[in-house]
Structure 1
Amino acid sequence: MSTPATDPGTYRPRPASLAGRRVRAAVIGTGAIGRGSHLPALAQLAEEGETEVVAAVDIDAIAVEEFCRAGGVPNAYTDLDLMLREQRPDLVTICTPPTLHRAQTIAALRAGAWVWCEKPPVPTLADYAAVEAEEGTDGGPYASIVFQHRFGSASSHVRGLLTSGALGRPLVAHCQTTWYRDSAYYAVPWRGRWQTEGGGPAMGHGIHQMDLLLDLLGPWREVRAMAGRLVHDVETEDVSTALVRFENGALATVVNSVLSPDEVSRIRIDCERATVELTHLYGHSNANWRITPAPGVPADELAAWRDFGPDVPSSHLAQLRELVASMRAGERPRSSGADGRTSLELIAALYKAAFTDATVEAGEIGPGDPFYTAMHGNAPGWAPAAAKAVSA
């Protein structure tokens, strides 16, 4: 965690061009995801001459000093505003709890830095709109979300097969994130609460698989859903199921759970000419994908479908490499703006459908809808006591 920004409007924007120099990066939040995923990805690109990590920020002075010492980062801060003023990074990676994402992302954007923020990007659609309003135009800076499952050789190959029509029309899909989290996991104060985590497994766990499903199948049209608290004493759900109809006509089931001892992440898409299936847990490579042809598919065509090319696993590194390329080109990166909002919109619709027992249409949730400003929508039985008191 790190300190929120207070007065970012006084910062000077960074130089527009990154030509001939490394991207100066800063890591906000030095916990497990910062240490285990963001810093190693930045370090690999540093070896390739693309980046340099100039600073890290955390409210825990001892933790940030140790992070910097272990990672060779030259500047440790406990104040985000001060770091932005003094270091003027080109890129800020945000590895803090969701409740801090909006303020920290806006602070970095106003300082002229691009942002790469862990999922969920922000707790609500209203927060996402506030972030979008701070983005630059015609070259950035832009705020991108960590959706690393979209990236890598296999997801790129399958996306191409689907969009080209090689596999025929997508017909039936299944998206599954069935994981296991015990009571110790929810003992962390910010977990399981709407205000600080934004939602339960749909928001904090299944968002990755749902994002990949949307990236592969395209826009959705309507959703129906159910949710429950079956085990954990939390404000949010601990399991949800949904039925989703896509604009291309495909029908999908979505299951998100933290109650499942046999943990698995899975996407299956049945098309007219083949079934494509991904089975993994926290990341995938070419070997995690399987393509099963319908009868009559020629052997040479199947061989082409199964040729995923050199194996580039899904990872923070794969996404960061593409993000840095977008920065150098001055182009909006994938998983930012409208493209980054798609998963958050589906999750908001899933919650609204589950808590109101109604079918929710794409584009339905906007300003004035209670689910636009809170994922619980002040729904009876789901809104925290403080939210119900405010709305009374």
Structure 2
Amino acid sequence: MNKPSTPIRAAVVGTGGIARGRHLPALATLGDRAQVVALVDVDAEALARTADEWSVPGRYTDLDTMLRTERPDLVVIATPPGNHKDSAVASLDAGAWVWCEKPPALSLAEYDEIAAHERDGGPYAAYVFQHRFGSGAERFRGQLDDGSLGRPLVAVCHTLWYRAPAYFEVPWRGRWETEGGGPTMGHGIHQMDLLLSLLGDWHSVTAQMATLGRDVQTEDVSLAMVRFGSGAVCSVVNSLLSPRETSYLRFDLTDATVEVEHLYGYGNADWRWTPAPHAVDADRVAGWPPVDDLDSSHAAQLASLAESFERRERPRASGPDGRRSLELITGMYRSAISGRTVLRSELTPDDPFVAALHGGDPASATALFRAAALSDPAAAPSATAAASTAEESLHA
């Protein structure tokens, strides 16, 4: 590709740890293809410190003022989830492409509202799902596409992390109205997005959720069985209560098992290919390692996004492709709260869980999740009542 005549003018909204530790370093890897022209943060002191550290000239405490003044090509949104939708819409309306941290929005309805402000040829809104972009995942995706490993049958997708009680002292964490959901929404979404980018659309989900160890409104652990359109099945576990932290995905196909285990990002060394006993050409089945060893970083995704921007085409992890993980998450909450299996086809615009992951009754959802932690069996009917209330709301 020819080098663009002018750099991508980028602005970063939010100067917290994710911006300083991931987004600004990723932008720096683009070299002269990108220029960070502005930062935005309501905390003027944090704004000044970060701008000084990264030599960013534009410093704003208001997004709209920055958009009018700087007219950036790309806005990177690195704020808490409750701010994502409004910041993305304002940036798209100003003509800027968007790269937004996970989760994309608090609900599918918010996601679709953002998408309504995109235009053909851009601007587009893409979301930070960097685990798709490492060389291990790209190699495996190619093998799935060409059928060289056979048919996917069984998968495991576990995000087993640990967050101490102090983590939730940050006011927006663990609250329906500001975080949208618990670890199913804010933590496991990375692994579930990688899962869906490899196995495609899901068909149905059966889930349970509980609040077992943290003082939050949402769940702190969830488990689900997911059936895919291909017929493959997957177990999904998301936890913030697991002292030995790991992110683990496993795929059992007719001709091989493929695994990756890491924590917050993988390289080639974190993958393992195991040919089935009947595989005649084991080297072909493994197909490992790839020529490149590209880790699953923000920089890897940003490089792909920059190429899409320069070609004026929709980037990966945007539009319907970026919606998949949030759609599965919505199905998981609907299943856990209603107490039944949910079909993907049921998640229509008028569904209350599309509007909010608690289904319109946050108090009942909280009570249901907390009931799972009670040691007194006599308290169990409160969970049943909460589930009944949620189910009735589906048909109100």
Normalised to the residue count of structure 2, the TM-score between the two structures is 0.90
1:21 Cα shift? 0.7
Percent identity between the two aligned chains: 56
Deviates more, 1:170-179 or 1:299-308: 299-308
What is the distance in 1 between the residues matched to 2:346 and 2:243?
Answer: 36
Gaps of 5+ in 2: 368-388
CA distance in 2, matches of 1:42, 1:34: 10
Aligned 8 A contact 2:279 2:285 in 1: no
2:371 aligned residue = none
Given candidates 213, 217, 222, the residue that maps to 1:231 is 213
User: Counterpart of 1:68?
Assistant: 51
Aligned residue among 142, 145, 167 for 1:163: 145
**Stretches of 4+ aligned residues off by more than 4 angstroms:** none
> Which of the residues 294, 297, 306 maps onto 1:312?
294
Deviation at 1:361, TM superposition (A): 0.6
Query: Contact 1:219–1:247 (CA<8 Å) still a contact in 2?
Result: yes
Aligned equivalents of 1:142, 1:172: Cα separation in 2:
34
C-alpha distance in structure 2 between counterparts of 1:224 and 1:242, whole Å: 5
> Does residue 36 of structure 2 align to residue 53 of structure 1?
yes
Residue 28 of structure 2, aligned match among 23, 39, 43: 43
Tell me the residue number matched to 1:85: 68
Q: Which residue of 2 aligns with 1:176?
A: 158
Partner of 1:330: 312
Match of 2:102 in 1: 119
Higher helix share: 2
Q: Aligned match of 2:169 in 169, 178, 187?
A: 187
1:30 pairs with 9, 15, 24, which one? 15
Q: Which amino acid aligns with 2:41?
A: D
Q: Which runs of 5 or more structure 1 residues have no equivalent in the other structure?
A: 1-17
Q: Does the aligned pair in 2 maintain the 1:31–1:95 contact within 8 Å?
A: yes
SS of residue matched to 1:310: coil
Superposed displacement of residue 59, structure 1: 0.1
Q: CA deviation at 1:368?
A: 1.7
8 Å CA contact 2:181, 2:219 repeated in 1: yes
Map of 1:3 onto structure 2: none
Give the letter for the 2:318 counterpart.
Answer: S
- How many residues matched? 367
Indicate the SS of the match to 2:299. Answer: helix
Distance 1:98 1:366 in 2: 23
1:272 aligns with 2:257: no
1:263 aligns with: 245
Structure 1 residue 198 corresponds to structure 2 residue 180:
yes
Q: Distance between the aligned counterparts of 2:118 and 2:366, measured in 1?
A: 31
**2: distance between equivalents of 1:144 and 1:154?**
22
Partner of 2:119: 136
Contact preservation (8 Å) 2:275, 2:286: no
Q: Distance in 2 between matches of 1:68 and 1:142?
A: 26
Distance 2:147 2:177 in 1: 42
- Equivalent residue, structure 2, for 1:107: 90
- The CA deviation at 1:19 is 4.0
1:293·1:302 contact (CA, 8 Å) conserved in 2?
no
Matched-pair contact (CA < 8 Å) for 1:92–1:114:
yes
Q: CA deviation at 1:300?
A: 5.8
Q: Which residue of 1 aligns with 2:373?
A: none
Please report how far the alpha carbon of residue 186 of structure 1 lies from its aligned counterpart in structure 2 after TM superposition: 0.5
Following superposition, the deviation at residue 364 of structure 1 comes to: 1.3
Partners of 1:35 and 1:237 in 2: how far apart? Answer: 29
